[in-house]
Structure formats: structure tokens, C-alpha cells
Amino acid sequence: MAWALVSTIKDQLSPFITSEFTSIANVKGEVQNLESKFHTIQAMLSDAEERQVKEEAVKLWLDKLKDVSYQMDDVLDEWNTAMIKAEIEKQQKEFEEEEKAETSAAKKRKVWPLISVPTLFQHRDIAHKIKELNQKLNEIDREGGMYKFVLTRGNEEVERPKTTSFVDVSDILGRDKVRDDLVSILLGKSSEEGINPQVISLVGMGGIGKTALAQLGFNHRQVKAHFDTKIWVCVSEPFDQCKVARAIIQAFAFGGGDSNVTELQSLLEQICELIKGRKCFLVFDDVWTEDSTLWEPFRLALQNGAPGSKILITTRKNIVAKMMGSTYMINLEVLSDKDCWLVFSKIALCDKNSEECKQLEHIGRKIAKKCKGLPLAAKTLGSLMRFKKSMEQWEMVLCSRLWEFEDVERGLFAPLLLSYYDLPSPLKRCFSYCGVFPKDYVFSSDNLVFMWMAQGYIKSKGNMEMEIIARDYFENLAIRSFFQDFEKDEDDSKIKRCKMHDIVHDFAQLISKNECFSISSDIELGSDYKTARHLQLEIPINTQFPKSIYSARNLRTLIFVYQSDYNLSTLFQHFKCLRTLTLNFEYGDTLEELPDAVENFIHLRYLNLVNYRGDRLPETICNLRNLQILNIIITGVKFQKLPTGMGKLINLRHFILDLRYNWVKLEFPRGFGRLSSLRTLSYFNISGKDDSERCKLGELRNLNHLERTLTINGLGSNVYEAENAQLKKKIGLRTLILRFDKWDSEKIIREIDVLVLNALEPPPNLEHLHIECYRGSTIFYNWAMSLTKLKVLYISDCYYLEHLPPLGKLLFLESIEIHEAYSVKKVGVEFLGIDELEKKKKDDIITIVFPNLKSLKFVYLDKWEEWNGIGEEDEEEEEDCIKRFTIMPRLQHLAIWVCPKLKSLPNFFHTAPLQNLKIFYSPFLRERCKRGTGEEWPKISHIPNINIDFKHLQRDGRELNPEMYWD
């Protein structure tokens, strides 16, 4: 970790030497000496970082070095910030001049010179700090010579992760019999009458696979079918009763439970009500507390479940299993050498050919034995050896001195140390940062990437974006088994969320000791936080703020989870070095206002506001010149306007607005288009009372780095601005949501909407398109066929839409939803994308229409009367069309909601491979789809699942009496 930090400082010092500052402040020699010393010290660091595990003196020396390095980083950042401020002021003058010039095309624009530079006082202050740090580094350099470190070069090269990234070992954990026994217990009746719910315990040391086995049981097909409700709760230490109760309630999202309640008794009453009459299966993972008084309220509340309910706990302590009243206790033993080798070799040898496997097997079995039967150790070591090809590399691991490291987890830290020291220096830094999070924390991969970027851990490489490099770092750590329990994105299979095994978390905290802290108590812990750099602080409800935290003046990360009232201005006075600030106000208590003092965080790169209910952001936020990521979750309806100086945040790369109430329309300021570094703009509102205040659509013109999702609100009235936005150049966008302005019955307004939509022309790589509140009668005939990669189309609240767009030839389209298209009366061949000339051709070429469409849904088309296929008016023509056109060959789901005038379905559904048909509140179709007698029945009888007005006619191919069966 120190190696990467020193390397970062060195990289900053080289250009600093040649800057105007060193000549003005007369410190060029001082800075050159600093660079030379950092270069010498860096050669010692690989050996020092490995020796610090056993040698406390070496660890103290490294701590001193890191402290000086952090201070130097702050000094350099102060200078860079001053230069950014000067550049912003220059741009502001130019922008103001351009604004004046708009009133007269002939007026000559004036270019303002750079008029603001760091003051003489700033020069002297920074020069003084550099001289002080040079003296400190001299002492550290001299002290380092005492330890006779082996001089080596560190490894900064991070390879891009392989596509064959994750190896599934869940089927070879050597736990088949234990798994089958567990499933049998879960499905069986209680052996002791009167006990409900029955408690089963999985007991064993850390890393032995308790959670993995519990997950196998939890996700077992028969277990899923056996229980009405399944709930998984991570408990850990300390046992927070309210948090556990809220986690249970949140699993009943459909039940109406309020997880914002803060009193335990009210939470328990909700649990009683929610589980009443339900056969429940609850997993309490990683229980530590031996205090029966903490568990007793839950035992009583959970008795309200239906007979046959079960609770499964995982714990390292037998006494915990007994305290919770376990009727079955399964003690997990270590894996056999054979099973341990299977786990290890499945990963370690997965990318090697048969000859390499033969050569490495003998030494590999010796390494696997060192895992001592622990699945986590086998998985970790397997992930390490996967990237080592030669016999010599495998022998070096077998003979490493790190195997001598003793710890309470029977050697689990040794495999982790081997894997950690094998990481390139940037990855070591990223991994150790994870020590700031509490156990059982659910990581958002995007959020973690942003935090690494904010700390300066990610170096740009050529033209590769920082975000891509950071994502590669995350994937590398995941491949090496530092993360687990992956939740992946359905569209691109990238990891969205994951967790860290509690032993790996303990290891991360060991590596980052005295730098990373995670505190979930108001108790004054007596710790010295002067060395703390990263802090997660969660203060329980109705408790005092622990003032000892104020000593952590060098904090670079503060994740503040607070559940009560607190004066943030006081907090903001203490932590001036922050790069990352998250304010998360949970459980009903929300952040009402961000203090003006936020401008004190001159180094801040990432500001994350969760549950913000204020009516504004302070104007001073625009003075955060280094800000790269601004993420705001707005839960209230008062927030109406963004600061007018937003255009000064020229380093902003990600502006993420999560509006929990869609009808809230934020007023965006003029000058927003100056944020040309933006990669993420989740929401953009065209606003303002008149042209002098309006944030126009044309502000998007130069924001061509935008990626992922963009929502544009308030479209309409200005065709020129729609063209000026140049959406087609935003080739990184994948999802586009277009919301037009208020409905208007005037014909001229509706015609303008058509022109605006045509002028927008989305980028060709678009995969998801939403169009809402559009007032035209037709949709995008000009550019529809250019969206060759479109997968999802959603059209909503388009009251005047009369004709559906011609979509049938879009090759990748998978899902279509049409909502509230009240003027549509007929759907015919134009929807299929087939014109009359094509229909009448006489050739043998087969045309596939909607080749990849899987889901089709219509909701609230109250004037829709006809839905025709091809040639249905003429039997001879229809016969010919059946031969020449294949329609919707992959359609799985069809839903028709509230289409009261629709009388029939097109004939091509007879051959479509539909699996699910749902028809609700459509009386004509309900009558015509009656089993056997309905005119539409021959078209749909082959569909396995048919549900009409919430009654099943067929389920999984089985006929059901709709009068008797209610879903």
C-alpha cells in the first residue's frame, strides 16, 4: 500500500518541478531532493511491506512514511486546486462575454486573459510546508537504513482481467451429504412437537463454508417451493436488534411494513403481523452474541409463523447455537485432502492445458494440503495459482516464509497474505481500502470504483478512461476471490453488487490497521484516531456523537450513517482533507440542508448524499473545484433548483440524480453545457421562465462523453434546440428516456412534438428507449430504422398517438411496452414493418419479422378495436404470407391490460412459441378466449400459461377451471 502511495507522489513531483511555482517560491532544489528521496525509499518498500507483518518496528516506520506522503499529497493538491480555480475564473469571464455577445451577432467577442493566479501568501505557505516535509523525509530515510531492506522494484502493472473470470466451485465443496441432510431437515416435520419455529444451527470455524452451505439450502428448488416466505439476514457483531428487525421487515416489501420505524417494540409488532399464517424460512447468518435477552424478543415474535416454519443460523460458537434453542446442530468439519484438492485444482488449473496440469499436480497437492481443509483457503490459493504458469512460481509459493504466520483462524491469513503480496501495488491499495466498510457490507461495484477514483488510486493509461481501469481493478480482485456473492447485471453480466467473506474482511482491516476504521457505536472507544484516513461512522438512534472522532483531522474518507439530529456544520469544521464524503441519513431521519461550510472540503472528489430532503444545494458547493462525482438521492418534493454556478464544476465526471418522486422538476442553470468532462448525467431538465433564464436542450451539445442512461425532461416547442443537442454523437449512451412537456390539445403543439422527436435523432448504439407524454400522432419515422441495436422500447402517456411505429425489422428488439396510447384504433402490417408492396411480392425469400421479440405488452389502449396480421382479409393472400413471413418466432410473453374494445388476436399467434398470455379487463377478448368455445381459443390453446382476469385457464400446460382456481 505504501509503495503505491509513494509512486503517486513521485508522479506528481516530476511535473511540479517544472511548474512556475518552484521558480516563484525558490524551492526547486527542495522539491528535487524530495523526488530523489522518494525514489530511494520506494526501492525498500516491497521488502518492508512484507516484513511489517512480523516486525512492529518496520510497521511503525512505514506508518511515518505514509503520514509524510499523505501530507505531501495534500500540499500538491492545494497547488493544483489553486490553478484549477484560476482556470475556472478565466472560463467564467469568457462565458459571461459570450452571453453578452448573444444579443448582437455582430458584436466582437472578447477573450479574457488568465487574471487570477495563486497569491503570494499561498506561494509562501506551500513553500514552507515543502521544506518541513523534506526535513521529515530526511529522518525517515536515515531510519530506513537501519533495517537493511532488500532493494527491489515494485509491480505497478495490472493486467486486464480475462473473460473466463469466475469459476464455480459450489458443486464440489465436498459437502454433498451435509447439504442433503440439511435440506432433509428443512423439508421435514419437527421432531419435537410444539416447537415453532424450529431452529437449526450450522457451527464451525471461520472459512469452513457455513454461509456457502446455508446458501445451498436457501436456494434449493424444493426448499423454495416448501416455504411461503424466505428471508436472509446478516447479523454479525454487534447484534443490533432494530437493524435485524428492519431487515426482516424489508424482506416483506409487498406486505406494507414500514422499515423507517425506530422503536424495537413497533418493529416486532410489524413482524408478528407480517408472518402471521405464513410458513417462513429465516436464515440468521454469522451470529456472535451469547446474550439470550437480545434473542428472546425475536423468538417470541417469530412464533406467529405457521407450523413448519424454520430458522437456520450460522455461527462459530456452540454456545450461541445452544442459546438460540437449536433442535439440530450441524458441526462442519474441515474438508478431506481429496475434496480440498478438488476445490483448489478446479480454479488453479482451469486455464492450463493437460500437459501443464500433469507437471503441476504433484506440487499443487502439497500446496492444497497447506489449506488445512478450509474451503476459503483452497479457493483463495487456487485463485492465486491460476495466474502462475511455471513450476518455479509454484515452488516459490510452497516455500514462502509467509506460511510461518500464525493466527487464530488456523492459517487462513497465510493464504490471504500470499494472495495480497502477489497483487500489483495499485490493487493492494484498492483492496486495503475495503477495510473501512463494516462486515456483511453489500458493495456496489460502481460506488467502490468511484471511491477509488476519488482517493487518486486510479492512474490514467493512454486513452483509457479512469472508470474502465478502475473496473478492471475490481474485476481482478473478484477473480482472485477477494469478493463473493455476486449479483450481476442482466444486460451485460457485469457485477453490480457483491460481498466480502468475513475472514477476508478481517484481513483487510489487519492490512489497513490504524488507517481504516468502521465504528457503529456512540461509546467513547479510547482509540487515537490521529492516523485514521478512512472512517465509516454509524451512530445509533438517540445517542451522542463520540467527540473522540474529532481527532481524526486527516480523514480522507467519511461515510457517515446517522439516525438522529446532528449539526453538520460542526462536523465540517474538523475534516479538511476529505476526498470522499457520504452522508447517509437512514430510517426516517433525513438530511434537510447541506451547510454552506461544505466549501471547506477543497480536496473533495466524491460527494454522496443519501435521503436528501432540502429544497436546494448551497451555492458554495460550486467552489469544490476538484469534485468528480456528485450523487444525490432526493427523497422529498421540496428540491426545485440546482445552484446557478454548477458550470464551474469543470472536473465533474458523474452527476447522478435519483429522484424518488418523478413529478419533481428541477430547474437546471444556464452554463451547464460547460461540464464537458461529464460521463454520467442521469437526469437533465429543460427549464426556466424565459430565454434569459432557460437551460436549453442545446446545453447538451458538447457533452459527448455521456454514457449509460440519460433522462431528458421537459421536451417540446423548439426544433432548433433539439437538433443542437446532437444526441447522435453521444455514442456511449445505452438508455434514453424522453419526457415531453405538459399535454396540450392544440394541433400545432402536437405537430411541433413530431418535429422535435425527429430532430433529436438518438445515437445508433442505443439499447433502451422510453418515450413519455409525447403529443404527436406518429413516432420517429425518420430515424427508427437506424436503431439497429435497440432491445427495449417503452411508450407511455402518448394520448394522441394514432399509429404504432414500424418496428418489425429491428433485429435486436426484445421487449415492447405501449401504455396509455388512447388514440390508437387499429394495429396492422405497419407495426410489423411490412409495406403493401412487400406484402404482394411473389418470391421465395422468407422474411423474419420481430426476430428477437420476447415480450409484448399493451396497457390502457381504450379505443383499440382491431389487431390484424398479414393478409387476414384474403385466405389466398394469407396462405402466401404464411409461407413468406415468419412473425415473432421467439415471443414468450404477451400481456393485454384494459383494452375494452379489442375484439380479436392476429392469426400469427397460432405459431408463436408463447409461454405466457395475460389478458385483464378486456371483456371482448375474455369471452372470445373461453376454452374450447371461444373464437380465439384455436390461436392460444397451445400456450402453457393463460391467465384471464387473474384466473388461470392453463398453468404449466395443465388445464384449470377458471371458476375454481384463483391465482
- 222-244 pLDDT, tens digit per residue, is 998 899 889 998 887 778 888 88
Q: Is 367 helix (H, G, I), strand (E, B) or coil?
A: helix
Distance CA 107, CA 100 (A): 9
Of 794 and 241, the structure prediction assigns the larger pLDDT to: 794
User: What are φ and ψ of residue 797, in 5° steps?
Assistant: 55, 40
| Highest-confidence segment of 194-208, 332-346, 531-545 | 332-346
Global pTM? 0.87
Least trusted range by pLDDT, from 254-263, 521-530, 618-627, 742-751: 254-263
Contact call for residues 775 and 753 (beta carbons, < 8 A): yes
Burial 643-663 (b: 16+ CB within 10 A, else e): bebbbbbebbbbbbbebeeee
pLDDT in tens, 274-297: 888 889 999 999 898 888 888 888
Cα separation values, 687 from 52, 101, 665, 692, 712, Å? 58, 22, 8, 11, 11
Residue 171 predicted with pLDDT over 80: no
pLDDT in tens, 742-777: 655 566 667 788 889 888 989 989 999 999 999 888
Contact call for residues 842 and 877 (beta carbons, < 8 A): no
What value does the mean pLDDT take over residues 432-456?
Answer: 94
Residue 29 carries which DSSP code? H
Cell (9 digits) for 513: 490497521
CA dihedral 405, 408, 409, 412 (to 10 degrees): -10
Q: Quickly state the pLDDT bin for 592 (edges 50, 70, 90).
A: confident
pLDDT of residue 548: 82
pLDDT in tens, 11-52: 787 777 777 666 666 677 888 888 888 888 888 888 888 888
Residue 601 carries which DSSP code? -
Of 708 and 1, the structure prediction assigns the larger pLDDT to: 708
In DSSP notation, 861-917 reads: -TT--EE--SSTT-HHHHHHHHHHEEE-TT--EEEEES-TT-----GGGGTS---EE
- Long-range CB contact pairs, 441-444, < 8 A, 24+: 441/499, 441/500, 442/497, 442/498, 442/499, 443/483, 443/497, 443/498, 443/499, 443/500, 444/496, 444/497
Contact call for residues 635 and 611 (beta carbons, < 8 A): yes
Distance CA 742, CA 756 (A): 15
Residue 868 predicted with pLDDT over 60: yes
pLDDT of residue 172: 59
Residue 791 carries which DSSP code? -
Q: Cα 210 from chain centroid?
A: 27
Distance CA 656, CA 582 (A): 14
What value does the mean pLDDT take over residues 821-836?
Answer: 87
Residue 841 predicted with pLDDT over 80: no
Average pLDDT, the chain: 84
Cell (9 digits) for 709: 442512461
Helix H, strand E, coil C: the string for 88-104 is HHHHHHHHHHHHHHCCC
Q: Quickly state the pLDDT bin for 966 (edges 50, 70, 90).
A: very low
Burial 415-447 (b: 16+ CB within 10 A, else e): bbbbbbebbbbbbbbbbbbbbbbbbbbebebbb
Distance CA 903, CA 866 (A): 7
Residue 143 predicted with pLDDT over 70: yes
Least trusted range by pLDDT, from 457-461, 508-512, 636-640, 696-700: 636-640
Nearest to 277 by CA among 221, 223, 229: 229
pLDDT of residue 108: 45
In DSSP notation, 617-683 reads: --GGGGG-TT--EEEEEE-SS---B--TTGGG-TT--EEEEEESSTT--PBPPTTGGG-TT-SEE-E
pLDDT of residue 605: 97
Q: How many helices (H) and strands (E) does the chain have?
A: 30, 32
Nearest to 752 by CA among 795, 721, 713: 721
What value does the mean pLDDT take over residues 719-740?
Answer: 93
- CB atoms near residue 923 (< 10 Å): 13
Q: Quickly state the pLDDT bin for 482 (edges 50, 70, 90).
A: very high
pLDDT of residue 891: 96
pLDDT in tens, 176-192: 889 889 999 999 865 54
pLDDT of residue 163: 45
Of 189 and 943, the structure prediction assigns the larger pLDDT to: 943
Looking at the DSSP bridge assignments, the partners of residue 328 are 200
The proportion of the chain whose per-residue pLDDT surpasses 90, expressed as a percent, equals 38
Cell (9 digits) for 325: 434453542
Q: Is 339 helix (H, G, I), strand (E, B) or coil?
A: helix
pLDDT in tens, 90-138: 777 766 666 666 544 434 443 433 334 556 667 778 888 888 888 898 8
Looking at the DSSP bridge assignments, the partners of residue 497 are 444, 487
